Amino acid sequence: MTRALVLAVSLFASPMARGCTCAWSVLDVESARAAQHVFIFQLMSAEFTSEGDGSVIYEGASGTVRVIESLRGDGAQFRSLTFNTSICCGSRLDVGHYYAAFTSEDGPSFPAGGGSIVNITFEYSESSEYPHSEHGIVTKLEALLRGDLNFEGVLPGQIGQGVSNVPLPPRPCSTSADRAPES
């Protein structure tokens, strides 16, 4: 009787467990090398686009991008991206950060996530020549595309982790125009 009571209390008191199966995989060497368009971009804005109860389980999002340089194909065609911030398989993309994108989609928008982008913010700077130097991130990405390096040689310890989804990005702030006038 005591065991049954402990089991019942623990089942109702414990948080709900959720299982996840992602529709896409983590970016790997083969899919990176097969991508028709490889480019570096900066995320300029982002907003939630999903409707419904505002649940943190799934939030659709979109953002605008500024393509800085193309390493393969036509990255300049892209002006925006879509992504989700779900706790299962979602992505955390931060405005202002730099990313390398690997996609075979054609623009003006592409789906972004752990299977198509890599955060290179700490390795990339527009105001420095270092990204294009012998040990810089652009040079390493070009070597990856040629088959001379694997991801571990480009971004040690980051590939296979996907794009971070913890913590979830904060909800957009409202502006004074969004608030009802005070009486």
Per the prediction, the chain carries an average pLDDT of 78
Q: Looking at residue 3, what is its pLDDT?
A: 63
Contact 154, 119 (CB under 8 A): no
Would the pLDDT of 14 be above 60? Answer: no
Query: Is residue 130 in some structural domain?
Result: no
Q: Looking at residue 19, what is its pLDDT?
A: 61
pLDDT grade, residue 159 (50/70/90)? low
Query: Is residue 76 in some structural domain?
Result: yes
Pick from 114, 117, 119, 115: nearest CA to 98: 119
Whole-number percent of the chain with pLDDT over 70: 67
Instruction: Say how many domains are in the chain.
Output: 1
Q: Exposed/middle/buried for 78, CB within 10 Å: 0-12, 13-18, 19+?
A: buried
Residues 135-150 have pLDDT tens digits of: 999 999 999 999 998 8
Report d(CA 70, CA 74) in Å as an integer: 6
Query: Is residue 1 in some structural domain?
Result: no
Q: Looking at residue 137, what is its pLDDT?
A: 93
Query: Is residue 93 in some structural domain?
Result: yes
Residues 18-48 have pLDDT tens digits of: 566 666 667 888 989 999 999 999 999 998 8
Q: Provide the sign of the torsion angle of the four alpha carbons 133, 137, 138, 142, taken in this order.
A: positive
Q: pTM of the full predicted structure? A: 0.75
Query: Is residue 147 in some structural domain?
Result: no
CATH number at residue 55: 2.40.50.120
Q: Looking at residue 163, what is its pLDDT?
A: 57
Query: Is residue 51 in some structural domain?
Result: yes
Q: Highest-confidence range of 26-35, 100-109, 153-162, by mean pLDDT?
A: 100-109
Per-residue pLDDT averaged across 123-131, rounded? 91
Query: Is residue 13 in some structural domain?
Result: no
Contact 83, 22 (CB under 8 A): no
Query: Is residue 31 in some structural domain?
Result: yes
Residue 67 domain boundaries: 24-123
